[in-house]
Amino acid sequence: MLLRRLGFLLPLTLPVLIVCGYRLGGAWNFLALGWSFALVPLIDFLGGVDTAQVSAKRGESPAWDRFFDGVLVFWVPVQLALLAFGVTAVAGIDGMAARIGFCLSVGAATGGIGIVVAHELGHRPGGRERLLAGALLTTVAYLHFYIEHNQGHHARVGTDADPASARAGEAFWQFLPRSVFNGLASAWHIEAARLGAARRPLLGLHNRVLWAGGGPLAIAVLLGLGLGAPAVAFFVGQALVAIVLLELVNYIEHYGLTRRRDAHGRLERVGVEHSWNSSQRVSNWLTFNLQRHSHHHVQVTRRYPELEHAFGAPQLPTGYAGMIFLALVPPLWRRVMDPRLAAWQRRQGAAP
pLDDT at residue 107 tops 80: yes
* Residue 30: its H or E element: none
Mean pLDDT score of the chain: 93
- Average pLDDT of the segment spanning 135-145: 97
Q: How many helices (H) and strands (E) does the chain have?
A: 17, 0
User: Is residue 57 scored above 50 in pLDDT?
Assistant: no
Q: What is the pLDDT of residues 208-222, one digit of tens each?
A: 999 999 999 999 999
The partner residues of 49 in beta bridges, in order of sequence, read 280
φ and ψ of 142, to 5 deg? -140, 40
Structure letter (DSSP) for residue 128? H
Q: What is the pTM of this model?
A: 0.94
pLDDT for 22 beyond 90: yes
Cα–Cα distance, 168 to 183 (Å, whole number): 19
Whether residue 10 has pLDDT greater than 90: yes
Residue range 20-31: average pLDDT?
Answer: 96
Integer Cα distance of 65 and 138 in angstroms: 28
Residue 219 CB-density burial (10 A; 0-12 exposed, 13-18 middle, 19+ buried): buried
**Contact yes or no for 265/249 (Cβ under 8 A):** no
How much is the average pLDDT of 191-215?
95
pLDDT at 64: 58
Q: Is the separation of the CB atoms in 25 and 102 below 8 Å?
A: no
